[in-house]
Chain A
């Protein structure tokens, strides 16, 4: 598949002033989805998201047309999101794909928590994350694409079942399954649009504009709004800045103040612990794909050794429970 040539042919449909596409380059090395950056010859900076031919879709991942529809819904709800320019049709020759505007900024969490360039925006970022999540969660559910529904107990049971299939003997994870089961909150009165992967690393941060885009909507679902607030507090995405629970850049109180009320800190901390537990099980699952021979890369083997980072975080959370 010649992606650059297909984008060149598509250019005139993406902007009325364009006659071609230039500088097409693949950004991410993800196996399940490709991300390409390119420019139109009228100067418009764009991003292509596409599923490579024959790539197996993760069970929980959304079709790309649904992802595009969610980004449009978030945009309409007043959350910062890249504008979707075009959802590809079969005759575009790009397979399952869509095109959106390319935003300027940084997504690397390590830089966002440390680099001098972000000092000015860092101080208001946790509050801003709260405000943005409140908008996403206020998006009208009617008219959204078909999404899975989940709640705390369901997620716990799902991840425990995955863990049980792996023949791992991890007493910390065993203890956490029972602890969280005992304190799991009931489903929320109203299900909301949950982003599902709202964390430092999936947020486009501009040195002056702050949070300019919420990216990676493929795990979006309907569920408990506290899930998104807890996930951004998981220590694995604080990039060493463990004293700042919100993404390595802010405090719980700022996040909750930005959100505007309605969610207790206890509920956020529950979802944070469940988030660490889920990430621990995911690390074991990724190792499993090495062990079964499905993906023999050393990356898949080594990520299993990140399970212990979630275990040490979970011990701390149990000690302070």
Chain B
């Protein structure tokens, strides 16, 4: 469901970093080690939540687009409908879906991000 990067790309990048020889005291490598820890945490959250989030998103999308289908196909349809102006970008039903989508993905990517509290506040 989540791309740019996919979970597979993240796993690959983690493995590549782990395969590098350790350079003691290297600031750049210490920074990348923290990024790698962060990537592992993202993958753990994604493994826990993504199947449920995808199923929920597919249900919302089917209602919004008005036809059945799997998540990827319906999401592509929605993107096309937005691109060609068939759906108003501020339509309440659309915003309900986009809000749930944003909350679901930030819970995986960056659960402490301030934008989540800001959205839930309004």
Contacts and interface: CB of A to CB of B under 8 A. Distances in A.
Contacts of B99: 315, 319
Contacts of A296: 13, 16
A308 B95 contact: no
B35 A302 contact: yes
A311 interface: yes
Contacts of B82: 171, 174-175, 177-178
Task: Identify whether the interface residues of B are mostly helix, strand, loop, or mixed.
Answer: helix
Interface residues of B, number: 50
B55 to A, nearest CB: 17
A194 to B, nearest CB: 25
Interface string A33-53: 000000000000000000000
A238 B118 CA distance: 12
Contact of A311 (B42, B85, B105, B122): B105
A220 B116 CA distance: 31
B76 A298 contact: no
Contact of A312 (B38, B83, B113): B113
Interface string B4-29: 11000110011011000000000110
What does DSSP make chain A's interface, helix, strand, loop or mixed? helix
Contact of B114 (A29, A171, A242, A299): A242
B44 to A, nearest CB: 13
Interface in B64-122: 72, 75-76, 78-79, 82-83, 85, 89-90, 94-95, 97-99, 101-103, 105-106, 108-110, 112-119, 122
**4 closest Cβ contacts across the A-B interface?**
A242-B114, A174-B82, A175-B89, A298-B13
